[in-house]
Amino acid sequence: MSNFAFSSLSDVLNMDGHGVYVWVVFSLFLITISTSFYIFNLLIKKYQKRVK
């Protein structure tokens, strides 16, 4: 594993001006994947209730 690529936390967020793109994509991934898991678990509970 290489060394830490940034000098500070603000550098991590900023990333020489490209931080907004990287973190927007990161949040998109996080929100989409977690929402999908949540929705499917809700659907499973809904159909389990129907079977009962």
Interacting residue ranges for another protein, rule: CB under 8 A = 1-6, 12, 15-19, 21-22, 24-26, 28-29, 32-33, 36-37, 40-41, 43-44, 47-48, 50-52
> Under a CB-based contact definition with an 8 Å cutoff, are residues 13 and 19 in contact?
yes
Tell me the closest approach of the beta carbon of residue 10 to another protein, in angstroms: 13
Three-class SS state of 18: coil
Nearer to another protein, 10 or 17 (CB): 17
Q: Least distance in Å: CB of 6 to another protein?
A: 7
